[in-house]
Structure 1
């Protein structure tokens, strides 16, 4: 995943790799971003981690993870993955 992809670009990337998110999942992803005020890159990390751990999109897992990342005030991708590792998530 390249840095600074928009959510739409990341979803298109997933689709190109054969992982298609349903429209309701995409809407929930965008809702989660609005609810938390998260940046696109942080939302993309939450999507990526949710899919790696859950093997499918799980809205409640994604939102909980996104809230934790926002609350932790991670400033970059490296900090995000350090936080996830510390929590035993990654």
Structure 2
């Protein structure tokens, strides 16, 4: 992700412009995951991006599990997230 986004809603708008569609249910699930884990918008964007790249679609359970892993490991940026997922053989 070369572009910087201020909020996860801005990132979802960007994805929508690229052909990904998010309904109210998916958007609500993303919001729930953000609040449930107390994640920042940047961590939510990272988890969402990696969910889409790994699963090739939005998978709510996978997304939440990434947010939980990132919170548990105090991951705050994309480089840390990718390294952690590589260590877990997820990517």
Name the residue aligned to 1:60. 61
| Contact 2:8/2:42 (<8 A) preserved | yes
**What is the rounded CA distance, in whole Å, between the counterparts of 2:25 and 2:38 in structure 1?**
20
Report the counterpart of residue 73 of structure 2 in structure 1: 72
Correspondence 1:32 to 2:2 = no
Aligned residues: 90
Indicate the RMSD between aligned Cα atoms, in angstroms.
Answer: 1.2
For residues 13-60 of structure 1, the C-alpha deviation after alignment (integer angstroms, 9 at most, x for no partner) is: 100100011110000000000000001011111111111111111111
Q: Does 1:10 find its partner at 2:11?
A: yes
- Unaligned runs of 5+ residues in structure 2 are none
Extract unaligned runs of 5+ from structure 1. none
| Contact kept? 1:3, 1:41, Cα under 8 Å | no
Specify whether residues 73 and 88 from structure 1 end up closer, same or farther in structure 2 by C-alpha distance, changes over 3 A only: same
Contact 2:43 2:67 in 1 (8 A): yes
Could you say if the C-alpha distance between residues 13 and 62 of structure 1 is closer, same or farther in structure 2, counting changes exceeding 3 Å? same
- TM-score normalised by L of structure 2: 0.90
Give TM-score, length-normalised by structure 1.
0.91
